[in-house]
Amino acid sequence: MTAYIVRRLLWMIPLLVGVSIITFAMLKRIPGDPVTVMLLESRSSGRVITEADRERLRKQYGLDKPAYLQYFDWLGEVLRGNLGTSIRMKQPVTEVIKQRLPNTMKLAGVSLVITLAIALPLGILSAVRQYSWLDYVLTAFNFVGISIPQFWLALMLLYLFAVEIQLLPVRGMRSPYVEPGFWNHLVDTVTHYILPVTSVTLASLAGYMRYQRAAMLEVIRQDYIRTARAKGLPEHVVILKHAWRNALIPIITLLGYVLVILVEGSIVVEAIFSWPGMGLLAVDSLQQRDYPVVMAIVMLSAVLIMIGTLLSDILYAIVDPRVRYD
Amino acid sequence: MTYDPRVEALIREATRRRYDRRTILRRAAMLGLSAPAVAMVLAACRQEEAAPGQTPAPAQTAAPGQTPAPAASPTAAEQATGGMVNVINTLGDKQVGNPILNSADYWVEWLCFSKLVKYDDKGNIIPDLAERWEYSSDGLTLTFHLFEAKWHDDTPFTSADVLFTFETIKDEKTDTPYGSRLQVGGEWVSWEAPDDRTVVLTMKEPFAPFLYGLSQIPIIPKHLLEGSSDINTDPFNTQPVGTGPFKFVEWNPSQWIRFERYDEYHKGRPAADGYTAFFMEDTNAGAAALERGEVDMMFVPPEMQPRYESDPNFMLLNYVYFTPITLAFNHKHPILQDFNVRKAIAHAIDKKSLADTVTKGRGLLAENQYATTGPLDKYNDYDNVNYSEEYPYDPELAKKILDDAGWTPGPDGIRQKDGQRMSFPLLTYSGFDEYKNGQVILQQMLSQVGIEVVPQVLEYTTLEQMWHDPNDDPMGRAMELQEWPHPFEQDPDVYNELHSANWPPGDNYMWFKDAGVDRLIELGRTTVDPEERVKVYHELDLARLKTLPALPLYCAVDGWVVSRALGGIPEDTPSIRWYHRAFPEKIYKKQS
């Protein structure tokens, strides 16, 4: 097992180098650079930036060098533990990420807890009462849920509750002016969470529910469940203690990816509700060609996905003793 | 003449919105106004020259020629000042603290900081930190006398701060786009401070756009930034301290920036209690917030303007661009190098119907080098220059010119000469329906005279790369529909984009070259006397008319929607965008 983990970890190095080269090359293929984007902005706000000014800035950001040298510059900095400075925000990239990461984790965390709290029981119910009207309703709901694009759902929620009914805030995490007092702040915070959390939850609910249902269906057909029932155990003990624990195995392995979800968040939902998290940062940075930030986010995701899959595999071996890695 | 309130309303509306004559006549007809009343409106609007070919206004009009008073601003008794003004930051989250660094936040720059001088909404240069300034008689020395002012942390502002700002910009390590603002003829100007309240700048040759350049440079505090190990990442960049009318309070990344009134502001106590600038990149989200009353003012694109035109809760104020939308010719293109071809194209275009269609009647015809009613209007030579008179819409004439030049219709109806077809790609950048529609209309108009136009819409960044590539193929970029050549915003100088010294990788990306135009551009930027300078640009207007580097089509008039909950904004401002930059301290939220 230890040898396996070490091997997997070592494999990450060439993988990460590969990811970084591909990402860097793709970034460079996008037309324009941070200076061009600035030029467009200054043009729309009426400023003329001369050729000399542009050259000076390009030199400042190392953009005057050939692309492969820029890559090595970047790699050299990263190996020394420096993710670089955001061109747009003039702060170390680590600072920028530190400001946004907690916001994404809050949104993703709350959504995940709510999603699991709804999806798991309903998935179990659906399996236990297979082909009942409840199962049909949930299945129908799941098909709709899987089919609806998240951006559409989020925009509809926004339009309905924030624009038409004006019940909930349009955007952001909190209002700039809140009357002092614990309750006022609580209400302000909660109302800002409702729409984004609902969007994320509704979009991921169906997947978890289907997954749980399938796992449960497989388990309740096993011999040891029949044995448990034959022992005369009450049905809820059979389902929750004997069946569910086994049906959780595939769900647990999914949790490896939760790491990624928590850190990456939902680009779509964050962008629509201007949630100041990692997703919005990724979109903004890409638009502004803020290369160091984009590279940092992509590399962070790559690392997390690799660690996530590794964790899933390890968890799998732990919860299911039949699985062995040698 | 009896007083008719409708006349007054129409005058106000016409001056505010800068209607052209046709619109005024139409509106007057709708209101059922008598002919003398209409004449009065027209006289008041001084629009006679702007739309030639219309019936002239009766000359005997007895109406007073002066423009009406700005639309009723509420008296102090009715509405108290104060309140938070809520605005939108459309350009996304940025570096907030240091306005001389690249990608500085827009609102921080305009609310927290001051420059030596700035421009008002009418294109006049006004004092900011400099109370007054004067040029030496040879135009080589510029002396600024500074206001007594204080930084938001109570430290007195002195000439040392100005010098520090200039030194920081000059420092190669500083990540700033303002380097060339402090250079004349490629050399840094020299600066000194004889005392705490005086700054003297010396340059090697007279340079008229210099003040404009200074109007771009916010002054930063020496006492907080001197000795910074790296000015580009200094903690100050998240905690700005300026001399402007509002103090920075709080930056919530990607959410908002909050400002509060700075009572000690050197031009007097600001009217509002504070400002909040929300980051909202999406215009639709912005519009939703506007209608909910969460923001008070925002730029709206043309397609959204009609819905605010009649809404009693909002004012739709004008924002006139400084450059007309033009059909720009690539002068490296072998066919378009021929003046007669450009001339024929000019005759083949019905500008009026083009402008009316793509701007839905809001645009103004462009007959000169700079936008009508914009900040550069005074540099237009209305006496001698009128593109529609020089090149009237006349397809038959266009055909004749092309025939005479040897371009005869081929089997497919497209003209050809020596086996070459007269076919031009017409490029524009994406994001503006107006341009896309314009391309199609131009394509149709030019096909009438046997010229093929192939419209192409590119991302701005892609187009920009082509512009600055000296090896760019002119056959693939024959014409562009956009605004070329750009002057500096309130300064008429077009050296960068029109002078032949700036061929790519410089900014003259349409490769224009004409010795006479070059000479006038040079003269224009070395003539410091304002009146003499106007004369030079009148000459340039004529020279451009005769050489056709680009054909001006129409002047886009965009709008800012402003909530009527705001006070302190004159409704007749020619450019709300410049008004709020120049006078943020006058704007407030009405308190009932």
- Across the interface, whether the CB atoms of B254 and A56 are under 8 A apart is answered no
Cβ of residue B301 closer than 8 Å to a chain A Cβ? no
Contacts of B183 in chain A (CB under 8 A): 52
Q: Residues B51, B356: contact at Cβ < 8 Å?
A: no
Cα B191 vs. chain centroid, distance in angstroms? 30
CA distance B76 to chain A (A): 26
Locate all alpha helices (DSSP H) within chain A, ordered by sequence.
Answer: 2-29, 34-44, 51-60, 67-79, 93-128, 133-147, 150-157, 182-219, 223-230, 235-237, 244-264, 267-272, 278-287, 291-319
Is residue A283 helix, strand or coil?
helix
Q: Per-residue pLDDT tens for B420-429?
A: 999 999 999 8
pTM attached to this predicted model: 0.81
Task: Kindly state the average pLDDT of the residues B280-309.
Answer: 81
- Across the interface, whether the CB atoms of B98 and A288 are under 8 A apart is answered no
- Across the interface, whether the CB atoms of B486 and A43 are under 8 A apart is answered yes
Largest CA distance in chain B: 79
Cβ of residue B394 closer than 8 Å to a chain A Cβ? no
Q: Annotate B382-439 with three-state secondary structure.
A: CCCCCHHHHCCCCHHHHHHHHHHCCCEECCCCCEEECCEECEEEEEEECCCHHHHHHH
pLDDT at B50: 36
> Which of B7-21, B195-209, B530-544 bottoms out in mean pLDDT, i.e. has the lowest?
B7-21
- Across the interface, whether the CB atoms of A99 and B253 are under 8 A apart is answered yes
Residue A253 has pLDDT above 80, yes or no: no
Say how far apart CA B90 and CA B40 lie, in whole Å.
Answer: 41
Q: Per-residue pLDDT tens for B232-267?
A: 989 898 899 999 999 999 998 888 999 999 999 999
Mutate to test the interface with B, among A54, A90, A287 (most CBs of B within 10 A): A90
Cβ of residue B283 closer than 8 Å to a chain A Cβ? no
Mean pLDDT score of chain B: 85
Task: Kindly state the average pLDDT of the residues A165-175.
Answer: 82
- Across the interface, whether the CB atoms of A89 and B94 are under 8 A apart is answered yes
Contacts of A100 in chain B (CB under 8 A): 253-254
Say how far apart CA B478 and CA B427 lie, in whole Å.
Answer: 8
Locate all alpha helices (DSSP H) within B246-360, ordered by sequence.
Answer: 283-291, 306-309, 339-348, 351-359
CB pairs under 8 A between A and B: 143
CA dihedral angle for residue B560, residue B566, residue B570, residue B571, rounded to 10 degrees: 50
Over pLDDT 90: what percentage of chain B? 58
CB-CB: which of B101, B237, B280 is closest to A274? B280
Q: Per-residue pLDDT tens for B351-399?
A: 999 998 888 777 889 999 998 887 888 899 999 999 999 999 999 999 9
- Across the interface, whether the CB atoms of A48 and B106 are under 8 A apart is answered no
CA distance B414 to chain A (A): 34
Which residue did the predictor score with more confidence, A266 or B82?
Answer: B82
Contacts of B461 in chain A (CB under 8 A): 30-32, 36-37, 40
Say how far apart CA B505 and CA A64 lie, in whole Å.
Answer: 14
> Which of B150-164, B178-192, B291-305, B320-334 bottoms out in mean pLDDT, i.e. has the lowest?
B291-305
The chain B residue lying nearest A161, using CA atoms, is: B288
CA distance B459 to chain A (A): 8
Pairing of strands B130-135, B141-146: antiparallel
Q: Pick the closest to residue A246 from A216, A203, A266, A279 (CA basis).
A: A216
List beta partners, residue B297: B87, B562
Q: Residues B479, B342: contact at Cβ < 8 Å?
A: no
Which residue did the predictor score with more confidence, A252 or A206?
Answer: A206
Largest CA distance in chain A: 86
Cβ of residue B216 closer than 8 Å to a chain A Cβ? yes
Q: Per-residue pLDDT tens for A84-94?
A: 889 888 888 99
- Across the interface, whether the CB atoms of A171 and B280 are under 8 A apart is answered yes
Domain A96-319 top-level CATH class: mainly alpha
- Across the interface, whether the CB atoms of A32 and B465 are under 8 A apart is answered yes
Task: Kindly state the average pLDDT of the residues B127-146.
Answer: 94
Q: Annotate A38-102 with three-state secondary structure.
A: HHHHHHHCCCCCCHHHHHHHHHHCCCCCCHHHHHHHHHHHHHCCCCCECCCCCCEHHHHHHHHHH
- Across the interface, whether the CB atoms of B289 and A170 are under 8 A apart is answered yes
Say how far apart CA B48 and CA B46 lie, in whole Å.
Answer: 6
The chain A residue lying nearest B492, using CA atoms, is: A48
Say how far apart CA B403 and CA A134 lie, in whole Å.
Answer: 80
Q: Per-residue pLDDT tens for B76-88?
A: 445 678 899 999 8
Give helix B35-45 / helix B21-31 axis angle, nearest 10°. 150
The chain A residue lying nearest B84, using CA atoms, is: A177
Confidence grade of residue A25 (pLDDT, cut at 50, 70, 90): very high
Residues 67-126 (B) with a CB less than 8 A from some CB of A: 84, 91-95, 97-98, 101-103, 106
The chain A residue lying nearest B282, using CA atoms, is: A272
CA distance A276 to chain B (A): 5
- Across the interface, whether the CB atoms of A32 and B459 are under 8 A apart is answered yes
In a 10 Å sphere around its CB, with 0-12 CB exposed, 13-18 middle and 19+ buried, how is residue B131 labelled?
A: middle
CA distance A300 to chain B (A): 21
Say how far apart CA B194 and CA B589 lie, in whole Å.
Answer: 42
Pairing of strands B452-458, B364-365: unpaired
Residue B489 has pLDDT above 80, yes or no: no
- Across the interface, whether the CB atoms of A53 and B180 are under 8 A apart is answered yes
Residue B585 has pLDDT above 60, yes or no: yes
Kindly state the tokens that stand for A185. 């702040």
- Across the interface, whether the CB atoms of B95 and A91 are under 8 A apart is answered yes
Contacts of A53 in chain B (CB under 8 A): 177-180
Contacts of A94 in chain B (CB under 8 A): none
Say how far apart CA A221 and CA B521 lie, in whole Å.
Answer: 88
Is residue A251 helix, strand or coil?
helix
Mutate to test the interface with A, among B86, B95, B101, B102 (most CBs of A within 10 A): B102
Which residue did the predictor score with more confidence, B44 or B452?
Answer: B452
The size of chain A, in residues, is 326
pLDDT at B367: 94
Cβ of residue B233 closer than 8 Å to a chain A Cβ? yes
Residue B66 has pLDDT above 50, yes or no: no
Dihedral over Cα of A143, A147, A149, A152: its sign: negative
Complex ipTM value:
0.81
In a 10 Å sphere around its CB, with 0-12 CB exposed, 13-18 middle and 19+ buried, how is residue A167 labelled?
A: exposed
CATH 1.10.3720.10: which residues of chain A?
Answer: 96-319
Other residues' Cβ atoms within 10 Å of the Cβ of residue A134: 14
Cα B163 vs. chain centroid, distance in angstroms? 29
- What is the CA angle B14-B17-B21, rounded to 5? 50
CA dihedral angle for residue A181, residue A185, residue A190, residue A191, rounded to 10 degrees: 100
pLDDT at B513: 96
- Across the interface, whether the CB atoms of A88 and B95 are under 8 A apart is answered yes
Is residue B26 helix, strand or coil?
helix
Confidence grade of residue B432 (pLDDT, cut at 50, 70, 90): confident
> Which of B1-5, B87-91, B521-525 bottoms out in mean pLDDT, i.e. has the lowest?
B1-5
Residue B440 has pLDDT above 90, yes or no: yes
Task: Kindly state the average pLDDT of the residues A98-111.
Answer: 91
- Across the interface, whether the CB atoms of A52 and B505 are under 8 A apart is answered no
CA distance B445 to chain A (A): 29
Which residue did the predictor score with more confidence, B473 or B305?
Answer: B473
CA distance A222 to chain B (A): 53
CA distance B48 to chain A (A): 29
pLDDT at B442: 96
Kindly state the tokens that stand for B510. 């349409």
Contacts of B487 in chain A (CB under 8 A): 48
- Across the interface, whether the CB atoms of A31 and B462 are under 8 A apart is answered yes
CB-CB: which of B102, B464, B496 is closest to A32? B464
Confidence grade of residue A273 (pLDDT, cut at 50, 70, 90): confident
Say how far apart CA A20 and CA A30 lie, in whole Å.
Answer: 16
